Chain A
Amino acid sequence: MKTGNDSPITPEVVAQHGLSPDEYQRLLDVLGRLPTFVELGVFSVMWSEHCSYKSSRIHLGRLPTKGPRVLIGPGENAGVVDLGDGYAACFKMESHNHPSYIEPYQGAATGVGGILRDVFTMGARPVALMDSLRFGRPEHPKTRALVRGVVAGIAGYGNCMGIPTVAGETRFDRSYDGNCLVNAFCCGVVPSDRIFLGTTGSPGNKVFYVGAGTGRDGIHGATMASTEFGEGSEEKRPTVQVGDPFQEKLLLEACLELMQGDAIVGIQDMGAAGLTSSSVEMAGRGGRGLLLRLDQVPMRETGMVPYELLLSESQERMLIVIEPGRESEVFAVFQKWDLSVAEIGEVTDDGVWRCTWHGEEVAAIPVAVLTDAAPKYDRPQQAPAPLPALPAIVDADPAARLPTLLADPDISDKQWIWRQYDHQVGTDTVIRPGADAAMVRIKGTAKHLAFVTDSNGRQVYLDPFVGTAGQVAECARNLACVGATPIGLSDCMNFGNPQKPEIMWQFSRSVDGMAEACRALDVPVISGNVSLYNETDGVAILPTPGLAMVGLYEGATPTVSAQFTEGLEVALLGQPGRGWLAGSVYARHFGFDRHGAPPPVDYATERALHDALRRLIAPGAAGAAIAVAHDLSEGGLLLALAECCMGGVGGAFDVANDAGALYGEDHGRALIAYAPQDRERVHALLEGVPSRVLGQTGGDALVVAGRSFAVTELRAVWERAFPAWLDGGTESP
């Protein structure tokens, strides 16, 4: 019987497996003998950047991961935060960048599939998805096809699964021309005493394989995702997995059904590095060994060998450990859902991860050698040369730029994207895409979860520490604008090649900025992932820590919106701002997008602002004090005002025709609007947070800085820009 162990191991073969000569020597040292070919493949994936976090691990330890609500922090399939009253939220964000660039539809689809499995593996029913996307310049010849493919892939998977995609963000920059980013987030809700973990329990427990059969797709995907791209990357297409959301929907329902009982000891999804990684991680957490009879694995192709079975990244598969005697329960549930189910091994007491093929041993590696002995690097760091300062910008009439900025690819309306996502299935979405944050209720309770994803690679590039801290603050501010309190953060760290000291410096500084802001704003980091080597032909992406923050709101569903209605008074809350233009959308329009320093964050004023917003939105006896809340971020005050007018109602506002005042992107600010008779109540609830009345809503024009813009025209510009770019202006539903 062919085992795949008959190929010789040469230096070239070692290099093809992504192991450096030093790492191969380390392998020989810890194993104490030559590996078999199968074992070399196993080391290749387990010691890959993707699985071992070998370059990032020592830095991630600096993030705050604990808090009174945190039930499970980083290290499991997803983090879990207590919501009280027996409920918990389970969430994580993960990247699928490299596969999505090579094969946009399947890459993005399986990114969604993977993050969904991470969440329902824990016993949680998924309730919301988000996506954070980065593409190259709109005029780059590949960008349109990537946008279409990625969006269709996310829609195809999420819609079929019946999980609403409730929020997201899409940005464009030349640094992503050859390396798009696709970060997918999922949150589920789980009873806080019914959380499932990827562990093994006692020796003698049975290992079950459930879900789809194993094919040859995705072999070495984790290794592929741990190298730079160059000429011929498209040839790596066979390393991209193919998704089947229908199978995953069945797998979701079957797993949750089996979880109603107590047959399961441990459960782990097969994601990157498939059967190898899932079984090794379970054994590692359980402190046990594992025996896998690979010939028992359900296969969907003929002639597969152990090497392929262990390294395949076929989707929609799970590994389940049960106590002996409970086998019939597993078979009953998975056969009901017409899914493959097979007993493929057992838990052992010798701490060795062992695989056999028709009785012949093909791999036997101590679990600790694959996990704890994996390399960890404190790679050299080097601050890059200082960036040029932002030059003085001469602009006689800054306000006149408003329509141009509304048509900016980053700013313009993204309905074209989110209308392709079912954002209402589940009948819990109470705040839909397009708002500061989305909100999903939990039926039968007064609890609501709020979701936001944000990242601003340009500001992180200017200063990784300050830029990342600013993003954390902005996420928290977005949540406050719908009345929610942050309860946790998931981070998806997208960076370039960590073997370059300047990239490693970016990463380390970004982690420190996130850590500082999370501590200051009481937001624990409970899950996340790291995606390095986002480079093509030696050019790195902007450092892009993708953040997904989750908030909790309890009470009657909030009535606040981000759209003006007639007859409201509008005020700007927070510090007046210094007219901070470096790192702004406005400065970018003059070609100055790699100039100056990003706006600093003042945590005390941020916290005071967020607390005030929550007080204003909480429904008191007479209802909420305010009708409108909207965060100031990209594009500053004028863009925020314009966005609030997109519902059709304009207003007249007293703002000077000054670039800093109109477009400055200082943190710590938000717009509110309220009925004039509520003015006293609003001011009492502000508790000292500075506010300045800007004007009144009403009419069909935005009158500001000495100019008057018809709201319908602003809206037309804002709405049409994105579909016009994609479809040549022939947007139809």
Chain B
Amino acid sequence: MSAALRSRVAVLTFPGSNCDADLRHAVALFGMEPVAVWHKESTLPNVDAVLLPGGFSYGDYLRCGAIARFSPIMAEVVRFAGRGAPVLGICNGFQILTECGLVPGVLLRNKALRFTCRDVNLRVQGQTTPFTRGLGGAALRLPVAHAEGNWFADAESLARIEGEGQVIFRYEGENPNGAIHDIAGVSNAAGNVVGLMPHPERYVEAALGGTDGCGVFRSLAAAIGGSAHTAATLEAGA
């Protein structure tokens, strides 16, 4: 596939984002072209998907993601999502998506009131999304690293989200933050916007301790027509 035809994936950078470079690296490993987009931009470049990285946008001041949702680029992301295009928020990116209402729920402080960095076991479920094609029912082991990952919604919303298949990732065994129903990641009703607390971009190379994040990027590459030719060599530990 020629470079001109490669799928293009925007990775947003907010002030305080710190997993943006990691995410661009992972996107490139799966044959897609990462496009760095600064939060003060008011238009998105021509891209096929938008990713919101982890980090501490605006220092997590006020409330995680609460200030970043007002960045100029976010109005554009909301329009992009409204057209049914793929949007993924990881960790702080998930928090921003909940703050601007693109995905349901809120993220409270971890039950233990401490930052926690550890591997967790997850089950992929719910409706099919651009980030979980072919992963339905899969068990994944991915890292989490957060202090506010305790997903919560009121009973009525929770019942609806569960009923509509919007719970996309669920902790199995250990729940690292006290999230209700062990929910680790959810989608919007249409299924094109997904947020999750674990970091799939941290487990896409054997040298880093795991490759269970590969499926998420391979799914995205397939959904937007990119090439996933490098994935097999990466998983082999090259």
Contact = CB atoms under 8 A, between A and B. Distances in A.
A160 B116 contact: no
Given A337-B15, A427-B26, A160 B56 contact: yes
B18 A425 contact: yes
A560 to B, nearest CB: 13
A160 B54 CA distance: 10
Given A249-B15, A337-B15, A732-B112, A425 B56 contact: no
A428 B112 CA distance: 28
A23 interface: no
B202 A424 contact: yes
B16 A249 contact: yes
Interface in B153-211: 174-177, 199, 201-202, 204-205, 207-209
Nearest to A125: B21
Interface in B54-109: 54-56, 58-61
A430 B115 CA distance: 21
A424 B143 contact: yes
A420 B22 contact: no
Interface residues of A, number: 35
Interface in A423-445: 423-430, 432, 441, 443
Among the interface residues B59, B61, B115, which one has the most CB atoms of the partner chain A within 10 A? B115
A158 to B, nearest CB: 10
B22 A160 contact: no
B201 A162 contact: no
Contacts of B26: 427
A250 B55 CA distance: 12
B117 interface: yes
Contacts of B15: 246, 249-250, 337-338
Given A338-B15, A422-B117, A432 B55 contact: no
A554 to B, nearest CB: 14
Nearest to A159: B115
Among the interface residues A244, A245, A425, A432, which one has the most CB atoms of the partner chain B within 10 A? A425
A512 B16 CA distance: 44
B18 A162 contact: yes
B19 interface: yes
A713 to B, nearest CB: 21
A315 to B, nearest CB: 13
Given A427-B22, A427-B202, A422 B16 contact: no
B175 to A, nearest CB: 8
Interface string A405-424: 00000000000001111111
Interface in A358-392: none
Interface in A474-508: none
A131 to B, nearest CB: 14
B201 A160 contact: no
Contacts of B229: none
Contacts of B56: 159-160, 162, 245-246, 249
B233 to A, nearest CB: 13
A423 B209 CA distance: 12
Given A160-B59, A245-B59, A422 B22 contact: no
Nearest to B213: A427
A159 B56 CA distance: 8
Interface of A is mostly: loop
A589 B147 CA distance: 37
Contact of B18 (A156, A161, A443, A557): A161
B172 to A, nearest CB: 14
A170 B220 CA distance: 43
B116 A162 contact: no
A724 B30 CA distance: 44
Contact of B114 (A160, A250, A420, A428): A420
B118 A419 contact: yes
A156 B114 CA distance: 10
A250 to B, nearest CB: 6
A420 B117 contact: yes
Contacts of A247: 59
B224 interface: no
Contacts of A150: none
B47 interface: no
Nearest to B22: A427
A160 B16 contact: yes
Interface string B11-52: 000011011011001100000000000001000000000000
B145 interface: yes
Contacts of A418: 117
Contacts of B208: 424, 427-430
Contacts of A429: 208
A423 B60 CA distance: 19
Among the interface residues B116, B174, B175, which one has the most CB atoms of the partner chain A within 10 A? B116
Contacts of A159: 56, 115, 145, 147
A303 interface: no
Contacts of A162: 18-19, 55-56
Contacts of A450: none
A557 B145 contact: no
Contacts of B55: 162
A155 interface: yes
A98 B60 CA distance: 28
A733 B16 contact: no
Contacts of A249: 15-16, 18, 56, 59
A427 B117 contact: no
Interface in A235-251: 244-247, 249-250
A246 B16 contact: yes
Contacts of B58: 246
B117 A424 contact: yes
A425 B207 contact: no
B207 A441 contact: yes
B25 A246 contact: no
A424 B59 contact: no
Contacts of B116: 419-420, 733
Contacts of A432: 209
Interface of A: 152, 155-156, 159-162, 244-247, 249-250, 336-338, 418-430, 432, 441, 443, 557, 732-733
Given A161-B18, A733-B116, 18 more contacts: A159-B115, A159-B147, A160-B16, A162-B56, A245-B59, A246-B16, A246-B59, A419-B116, A420-B117, A422-B115, A422-B117, A425-B19, A427-B208, A430-B207, A733-B111, A733-B112, A733-B118, A733-B177
29 contacts: A156-B115, A160-B18, A160-B60, A162-B18, A162-B19, A245-B59, A246-B15, A246-B56, A246-B58, A246-B60, A249-B18, A249-B59, A250-B15, A336-B40, A420-B115, A422-B115, A422-B117, A422-B145, A423-B117, A424-B199, A424-B202, A425-B22, A425-B54, A427-B22, A427-B25, A430-B209, A441-B207, A733-B112, A733-B176
